[in-house]
Amino acid sequence: MIRKKADQKIEFKCIRNGNGETEQHLIAEGVDELYGKGRLFNRMILAPGNSIGEHKHEGDNEIFYFLSGTGEYNDNGTFVQVEPGDTTVCNDGEMHGLVNTGDVPLEFIALILY
């Protein structure tokens, strides 16, 4: 299967009571395409000042790989600046959040696995 860029679904959602909406480009669509091993594999874009609200992962983990822009990642209450090439992992039982602190879009890949 090949999914051309023009055929990718794009959604705009406020995530976990964050500020503004997150633009989500669905790379793989849900549990079926991830063979029941996860539920999300997206390219995400946060506009300047937008955020993903702090939240806890239960029964899964989430990995972010940053492509462009800069932001502040909340790693269980420790705030760390992130930039292109950085990777974050929020394991089962941990909390995280993210805000775009730069003046350009913050773009990253997000993967949630069970």
Q: Which two tokens stand for residue 102?
A: 């730069």
Q: Report the pLDDT averaged over residues 16-31.
A: 95
Are 12 and 23 in contact, with CB atoms under 8 Å apart? yes
- The whole-number pLDDT of residue 107 equals 98
Q: Which CATH architecture has domain 10-113?
A: Sandwich (2.60)
- The whole-number pLDDT of residue 30 equals 85
- The whole-number pLDDT of residue 31 equals 87
pLDDT in tens, 32-75: 999 999 999 999 999 999 999 999 999 999 999 999 999 999 99
pTM, full prediction: 0.96
- DSSP H/E element including 30: helix 30-33
State the chain's mean pLDDT as an integer: 97
